[in-house]
Structure 1
Amino acid sequence: MQLVKLIYFAQGWYLAFVGKPITSHKAHAWQYGPVYPLVYKAFPGAGSRPLDGLITDKITAEPYRANFTDDEEALIEWIVDEYGKLHAFDLSRRTHADDGPWKAAIDRSGTYSEIPDSDLQSYFRQFVRDDA
């Protein structure tokens, strides 16, 4: 649960700062919060246990590798520093804001619907200072 929430925050903040997504995968508004289905499915049965492996390609069995720019890596490090120390339930509470993208997607299209990047960008943009 913590990993998918950290990806959600990285996506939202990168959209707010840079105006483009950090991942091509879309968040979905599942019953208990935003989820990136590919990541969720890559660790079946993990629950609240710490993750101890890499996501692997189902065909080649090779570890999945993402190529991030220096700016993307810097943002990911910032996300881990800012949010990584929070308990998964704390992160979940933050993603469930009444005015947030997860709630808007649920209200608009129902459970398991896609959360538009434009909603994430608008929501996180309101927290970006003009001098940032």
Structure 2
Amino acid sequence: MMELNQVALYFRNRSLEGKEFSITHLKLQKLVYYAQAWSMAIYGERLIDSELEAWLHGPVSRELYREYRDFGFQEIPPVDRLNFQINEQDSDVLEGVWRLYGKHDGKYLETLTHQEAPWINAWGRGMNEIIEVDDMRDYYQGLLQGAN
């Protein structure tokens, strides 16, 4: 399992300032959510031990929110290198998420999550409710099976 801030740093390392692949706080939150969701769908395992909640603008980690909220809607600067190792399984998930979602902005990803069952189910229970990892697993496994 990875640390939450390692996942955030991975995506910041992949970002390109001033381009479609730049990262904002909103986008970072959605990328972390999708990394957790696809790890659950593909491997049945959490990528991170943190909970993600259904907020008005989509899935959010409270810890990431506290760390990155001061950036507002501004780009978060990329990081040049990572000072930690990533195992192959986690690397595959993170790289797959980046390839699928990295070119999209945060508003697009917010809209996408609002159309998907894990956020909808949690939001239906109330604002800031935890998005269940079992919901993530079931929903995204269904997408995988539908693609075959």
**TM-score after normalising by structure 2:** 0.74
CA 1:130–1:101 in structure 2 vs 1: closer, same or farther (change >3 Å)?
closer
Unaligned segments of structure 1, at least 5 residues: 55-63
The code of the aligned residue for 2:47 comes to I
What amino acid is aligned across from residue 112 of structure 1 in structure 2? N
**Higher RCO, 1 or 2 (CA under 8 Å, sep at least 6)?**
1
Q: Which runs of structure 1 show a deviation greater than 6 angstroms over 4 or more consecutive aligned residues? A: none
In structure 2, give the amino acid aligned to 1:119. D
Distance 2:78 2:103 in 1: 20
1:1-132 paired onto structure 2 within 5 Å: 1-52=26-77, 67-97=85-115, 99-108=116-125, 110-129=126-145
Letter in 1 for 2:73: S
Distance 1:42 1:8 in 2: 16
TM-score normalised according to structure 1 size: 0.82
Equivalent-residue separation in structure 1 for 2:85 and 2:137 (angstroms): 22
Deviations 1:75-123 (A, max 9, x none): 10111111010011110111001x5111111112x00111111111111
Identical columns (%): 26
Structure 2 vs 1, CA of residues 100 and 45 (structure 1 numbering), >3 Å: closer, same or farther? same
Aligned pair count?
Answer: 121
* CA distance, structure 1, for counterparts of residue 35 and residue 85 of structure 2: 15
Which sections of structure 2, spanning at least 5 residues, go unmatched? 1-25
- How far apart are residue 9 of structure 1 and its match? 0.8
User: For the residues of structure 1 that align with 2:53 and 2:65, how far apart are their CA atoms?
Assistant: 11
